[in-house]
Amino acid sequence: MKNFFLIFQLLLTVTFAIAQKQLPYQNAKLPIEQRVKDILTRMTVEEKAGQLNQLNGGVFTGPAVNDNGQQQKMQLAKEGKVGSMLNVIGTTETRAIQQIAMQSRLGIPLLFAYDVIHGYKTIFPIPLAEACSWDLKQMSINASIAASEASAAGIHWTFAPMCDVSNDPRWGRVMEGAGEDPYYGALVAAARVKGFQGNLNDNKHLMACVKHFAAYGAVEAGREYNQVDISRVLLWNKYLPPYKAAVDAGAATVMNAFNVFEGVPVSGSKYLVTDILRKKWGFDGFLVSDWASFKEMIAHGYAADEKDAALKAFEAGSEMDMESQVTIKYLAELVKEGKVAIKQVDAAVSKILYYKFKLGLFDDPYKYCNVERENNEIFTLENRSVARKAAQASIVLLKNRNKVLPVASDKKVALVGFFANSADDLLDFWIAQGKASEAVTLYDGLKNKYANISFSNGYLPDCTTNDSLIAAAVAQAATAEVVFVNIGISGIYGGEERSLAYPQISDGQIQLLKALKKIGKPIVALVSSGRPLILTEAEPMVDAIVQCWILGTEQGNAIADIVSGEYNPSGKTVMSFPYAIGQIPVYYNHFNTGRPDSTNGNLAWNSRYRDIPNEPLYPFGFGLSYSTFKYSDFNISKTVIKKTDKLNVQVTVTNTSNRDGEEVVQLYIRDYAASVIRPVKELKGFQKILLKPGEQQKVNFVLTAKELSFFDAAGSRVLEPGKFSVFVGGSSKDVQQLDVHLIK
Ligand code: GLC
């Protein structure tokens, strides 16, 4: 009956529209679903395949995989055989290409996509650094500013947030994520989706893209694009939660990952794409492949040829094909051969068309091509001040022996370190339209704070050094009261295809530190990197260590704000800092093993290394402040709970210092005996609080069945009776513990 009225209404509208010379899908007054339905009936199979075809239009963010030049791509767009372009930037260029697409038979507008990972032109701290702020609201704001700037430049869709959990600093892409914890990664993912998308009802937000689905962060040995081989229990408990949270936050799209799961490339994995994403999670947006990941199923050894790749991708439920063009080449043929059901094609195409209608592009294809916005709303002073604030909160103070920090601005300081004065090494691979030349270097930032400052390189761009560089640095440092040494790696090693087998401080920089240490001045190491580096050899030679990450446009100012004391560091690392390379991967939420370290009072027969400790140099959740905090009166409401109970957890935190300070109070649990083993700790809550000197605050948490449960191999939540521990503290290591028993 309902269909009858729908069809009747449609007929009425068609009649009316013909009179108006306007087709239903062109009628902005009609519901989107109706407009999608109408245009779909008018499309050929080739045009439908076109909507599933995304082509690169500008700078390459992947290898060249087809011989189509720009000319051919524009011809395809004119024929209605392109649904989206990526890497086309700016109102002029997007308008020009949109005009070409609007010449197609049905005038279906393109979606323009871009990697707005941590800012468009105002560059924010890398997501890994942002996550160390533990300020979800701020991360959402940062994403919304990035969206506002990118949408002012003609962009509709960002390929962010990256939701890949990872604990391997050999992998360059850890910089794009939120570290090693799934619970926190899920909260960050949702916050960023909401920031990017808003309600998608204005042209100041972007469609988000949950990537890289799934488990790309588990690449073996941290080697880019490498094999992933994990169990379903680990997939469900460690890797999937952030993707799920981002989907639940309403993300418009999801991106396939490059890797395989259970021997099947993700683009062809029905288990991941259809069974989990579509059926179990009810994702109703659309999927886009990662760069040529459909075609790469051939190289993986899963597809026989391009046509087989197109078929296997579609059979799995994957949809839009980024850059490989196997879909536009073979989908129509596969439909005609009856190998792909047109119903499935229509379902995929409908979702893409839905978002084009929702963004208003059918009614105004140039809605985002607003030159006035582009000229006035990008890289504003206001946006930069927000970026500076975000950067301050992202910095992690790892060591501060004898309170050498903060350093008063009237001190005579020396700054040593090539990177501190090298804009080109400041930013990472994913800087979108950010310009290193527009970013504040560490030297610039410190000069803004310290009138009496000198600078020397200390090492070369490749992090090696030589006697004359060291001599110059030593001579200059000898005349200073405090020495700042910028060590680490260039920002260009942050991002895709930047795996490092040795994520550590270089020999040259160690040599420099040794020489500087001999002069007996306080040394503050300022570490620049898009990943945790091995700091073990440097640590004893310096009095303070500030993990500065890659902080974007306001990097230098934010670091200067910290070391001068203007901002009291509040960051806590979301990735463990390994003690040695041999330890990698090392992470806080590890399993106990059958012979945990030092259980039998002596070391023999324990799960350990003979040459290093099991513990990382700095654990997940760790970060110092210029303030100090005391945890007391830790209590839980019950020691025996039922599955339906809520467990109230409370701890009193006191600021025992003489200055305002922020503390991230963390809550962890442990499930001692379960049908699949559980980690020795799992983050299940946190609160970032600000306390005045001497101020106390009772911090309350509530634990429910959800936090105490886990996933079985089938992805079902399981809550089992038994002993649990509850931990609270200022890091995953420095905690107090109480036990509770869950009964049936
Ligand atoms: C790249 C990355 C992905 C990015 C895409 C488009 O290869 O894996 O994260 O969004 O291609 O640039």
**pLDDT, tens digit, 9 for 90 and up, residues 442-477:** 999 999 999 999 999 999 999 999 999 999 999 999
Q: What is the pLDDT of residues 684-728, one digit of tens each?
A: 999 999 999 999 999 999 999 999 999 999 999 999 999 999 999
Q: What type of residue is 437? A: S
Asked whether residue 405 falls in the same domain as residue 541, the answer is yes
Q: Is 495 in the pocket of ligand 1 (CB under 6 A)?
A: no
Q: What is the pLDDT of residues 359-375, one digit of tens each?
A: 999 999 999 999 999 99
Residue 454: how many CB atoms within 10 A of its CB? 16
Q: For residues 640 and 743, what is the distance between their CA atoms, to the nearest angstrom?
A: 7
Asked whether residue 412 falls in the same domain as residue 553, the answer is yes
Q: Is 496 in the pocket of ligand 1 (CB under 6 A)?
A: yes
Which of 86, 115, 253 to mutate for ligand 1's pocket (most ligand atoms within 8 Å of CB)?
115
Q: Is 429 in the pocket of ligand 1 (CB under 6 A)?
A: no
How much is the pLDDT for 9? 65
How much is the pLDDT for 522? 98
Q: For residues 573 and 575, what is the distance between their CA atoms, to the nearest angstrom?
A: 5
Determine which helix (DSSP H) or strand (DSSP E) holds 334, and give its type and residue range: helix 326-336
How much is the pLDDT for 744? 86
Burial of 311 (0-12, 13-18, 19+ CB in 10 A): buried
CB 623, CB 532: distance < 8 Å: no
Within a domain: residue 516? yes
Task: Determine how β-strand 53-56 pairs with β-strand 84-86.
Answer: parallel
CB 538, CB 525: distance < 8 Å: yes
CB 354, CB 36: distance < 8 Å: yes
CATH number at residue 530: 3.40.50.1700
Q: Is 61 in the pocket of ligand 1 (CB under 6 A)?
A: yes
Q: Is 216 in the pocket of ligand 1 (CB under 6 A)?
A: no
Asked whether residue 557 falls in the same domain as residue 662, the answer is no
Q: Is 159 in the pocket of ligand 1 (CB under 6 A)?
A: yes
Within a domain: residue 620? no
How much is the pLDDT for 17? 54
How much is the pLDDT for 6? 63
Positions marked active-site: 290
pLDDT at residue 60 greater than cutoff 90: no
Q: Is 707 in the pocket of ligand 1 (CB under 6 A)?
A: no
Domain boundary among 555, 583, 611: 583
Which of 213, 288, 496, 498 to mutate for ligand 1's pocket (most ligand atoms within 8 Å of CB)?
496
How much is the pLDDT for 473? 98
Mean pLDDT for 315-329 is 97
CA-212 nearest atom, ligand 1: 9
Asked whether residue 576 falls in the same domain as residue 677, the answer is no
Task: Determine how β-strand 717-718 pairs with β-strand 710-711.
Answer: antiparallel
pLDDT grade, residue 262 (50/70/90)?
very high
Task: Tell how far the Cα of 281 is from the centroid of ligand 1, in angstroms.
Answer: 24
Domain boundary among 552, 583, 614: 583
Q: For residues 454 and 436, what is the distance between their CA atoms, to the nearest angstrom?
A: 22
Least confident of 8-22, 57-71, 286-300, 578-592: 8-22
Which of 54, 61, 213, 295 to mutate for ligand 1's pocket (most ligand atoms within 8 Å of CB)?
61
Within a domain: residue 506? yes
Task: Tell how far the Cα of 54 is from the centroid of ligand 1, in angstroms.
Answer: 12
Mean pLDDT for 143-166 is 98
Q: Is 211 in the pocket of ligand 1 (CB under 6 A)?
A: yes
How much is the pLDDT for 68? 76
Structural domain span for residue 674: 629-742
Within a domain: residue 340? no
Asked whether residue 423 falls in the same domain as residue 533, the answer is yes
Least confident of 10-24, 465-479, 632-646: 10-24
Q: For residues 58 and 70, what is the distance between their CA atoms, to the nearest angstrom?
A: 9
Q: Is 498 in the pocket of ligand 1 (CB under 6 A)?
A: no
CATH number at residue 636: 2.60.40.10
Task: Tell how far the Cα of 108 is from the centroid of ligand 1, in angstroms.
Answer: 25
Q: What is the pLDDT of residues 212-221, one digit of tens each?
A: 999 999 999 9
Percentage of the chain with pLDDT > 70?
97
Q: Is 62 in the pocket of ligand 1 (CB under 6 A)?
A: yes
Tokens representing residue 375 in the block: 């000229």
Residue whose CA is at the smallest distance from ligand 1 atom 8: 290
How much is the pLDDT for 684? 98
Task: Tell how far the Cα of 369 is from the centroid of ligand 1, in angstroms.
Answer: 24
Q: Is 182 in the pocket of ligand 1 (CB under 6 A)?
A: no
Please report, for residues 221, 458, 532, 597, the alpha-carbon distance to residue 609 in angstroms, rounded to integers and kept in the order given. 18, 35, 21, 9
pLDDT at residue 742 greater than cutoff 60: yes
Mean pLDDT for 721-744 is 97
Determine which helix (DSSP H) or strand (DSSP E) holds 640, and give its type and residue range: strand 640-642
Mean pLDDT for 177-202 is 97
Task: Tell how far the Cα of 183 is from the centroid of ligand 1, in angstroms.
Answer: 25
Task: Tell how far the Cα of 322 is from the centroid of ligand 1, in angstroms.
Answer: 9
Q: For residues 482 and 479, what is the distance between their CA atoms, to the nearest angstrom?
A: 9
How much is the pLDDT for 65? 82
Q: Is 173 in the pocket of ligand 1 (CB under 6 A)?
A: no
Mean pLDDT for 649-667 is 98
Q: What type of residue is 548? A: C
Task: Tell how far the Cα of 18 is from the centroid of ligand 1, in angstroms.
Answer: 43
Domain boundary among 583, 598, 617: 583
Identify each DSSP E strand in 304-442 by its residue range.
Answer: 321-322, 396-400, 413-416
Task: Tell how far the Cα of 173 is from the centroid of ligand 1, in angstroms.
Answer: 11
Identify each DSSP E strand in 313-472 by its residue range.
Answer: 321-322, 396-400, 413-416, 453-456
Asked whether residue 657 falls in the same domain as residue 570, the answer is no
Task: Tell how far the Cα of 62 is from the centroid of ligand 1, in angstroms.
Answer: 7
Q: Is 732 in the pocket of ligand 1 (CB under 6 A)?
A: no
Of 335, 313, 318, residue with least CA distance to 43: 335
Mean pLDDT for 79-104 is 97
CA-209 nearest atom, ligand 1: 10
Q: For residues 34 and 253, what is the distance between their CA atoms, to the nearest angstrom?
A: 21
pLDDT at residue 439 greater than cutoff 60: yes
pLDDT grade, residue 2 (50/70/90)?
low
Asked whether residue 505 falls in the same domain as residue 561, the answer is yes
Region of residue 671 (left: phi > 0; alpha: psi -120 to 50; beta: else): beta
Work out the angle at residue 63's Cα, subtended by the Cα atoms of residues 57 and 66, and round it to the nearest 5 degrees. Answer: 65
Query: Is there a cis peptide before residue 406, judged by omega within 30 degrees of 0?
Result: yes
Asked whether residue 544 falls in the same domain as residue 682, the answer is no
Beta bridge partners of 652: 632, 698
pLDDT at residue 16 greater than cutoff 90: no
How much is the pLDDT for 597? 83
How much is the pLDDT for 64? 86
Q: How many residues does the chain have?
A: 744
CA-162 nearest atom, ligand 1: 9
Task: Tell how far the Cα of 515 is from the centroid of ligand 1, in angstroms.
Answer: 42
Asked whether residue 427 falls in the same domain as residue 530, the answer is yes
Within a domain: residue 226? no
Task: Tell how far the Cα of 115 is from the centroid of ligand 1, in angstroms.
Answer: 7
pLDDT at residue 565 greater than cutoff 70: yes
CB 680, CB 589: distance < 8 Å: yes
CB 91, CB 369: distance < 8 Å: yes
Tokens representing residue 445 in the block: 């930032």
Residue whose CA is at the smallest distance from ligand 1 atom 3: 290
How much is the pLDDT for 20? 54
Within a domain: residue 44? no
Work out the angle at residue 175's Cα, subtended by the Cα atoms of residues 136 and 57, and round it to the nearest 5 degrees. Answer: 100
Burial of 164 (0-12, 13-18, 19+ CB in 10 A): buried
Residue whose CA is at the smallest distance from ligand 1 atom 10: 159
Within a domain: residue 94? no
pLDDT at residue 51 greater than cutoff 80: yes
Q: Is 157 in the pocket of ligand 1 (CB under 6 A)?
A: no
How much is the pLDDT for 599? 61
Which of 87, 126, 290 to mutate for ligand 1's pocket (most ligand atoms within 8 Å of CB)?
290
How much is the pLDDT for 11? 66
Within a domain: residue 541? yes
Asked whether residue 657 falls in the same domain as residue 569, the answer is no
**When comparing pLDDT for 599 and 210, which is higher?**
210
Q: Is 115 in the pocket of ligand 1 (CB under 6 A)?
A: yes
Task: Tell how far the Cα of 295 is from the centroid of ligand 1, in angstroms.
Answer: 15
Q: How many domains does the chain have?
A: 2
pLDDT grade, residue 15 (50/70/90)?
low
Q: Is 455 in the pocket of ligand 1 (CB under 6 A)?
A: no
Q: Is 48 in the pocket of ligand 1 (CB under 6 A)?
A: no
Q: Is 161 in the pocket of ligand 1 (CB under 6 A)?
A: no
Q: What is the pLDDT of residues 497-524, one digit of tens each?
A: 999 999 999 999 999 999 999 999 999 9
Asked whether residue 443 falls in the same domain as residue 534, the answer is yes
CA-159 nearest atom, ligand 1: 10
Residue whose CA is at the smallest distance from ligand 1 atom 11: 291
pLDDT at residue 7 greater than cutoff 90: no
Residue 276, C-beta contacts closer than 8 angstroms, at least 6 positions apart: 214, 240, 715
Asked whether residue 450 falls in the same domain as residue 561, the answer is yes
CA-258 nearest atom, ligand 1: 8
Q: What is the pLDDT of residues 586-620, one digit of tens each?
A: 999 999 999 998 766 677 889 999 999 999 999 99
Q: For residues 506 and 741, what is the distance between their CA atoms, to the nearest angstrom?
A: 49
Mean pLDDT of the chain: 96
How much is the pLDDT for 21? 72
Mean pLDDT for 122-138 is 98
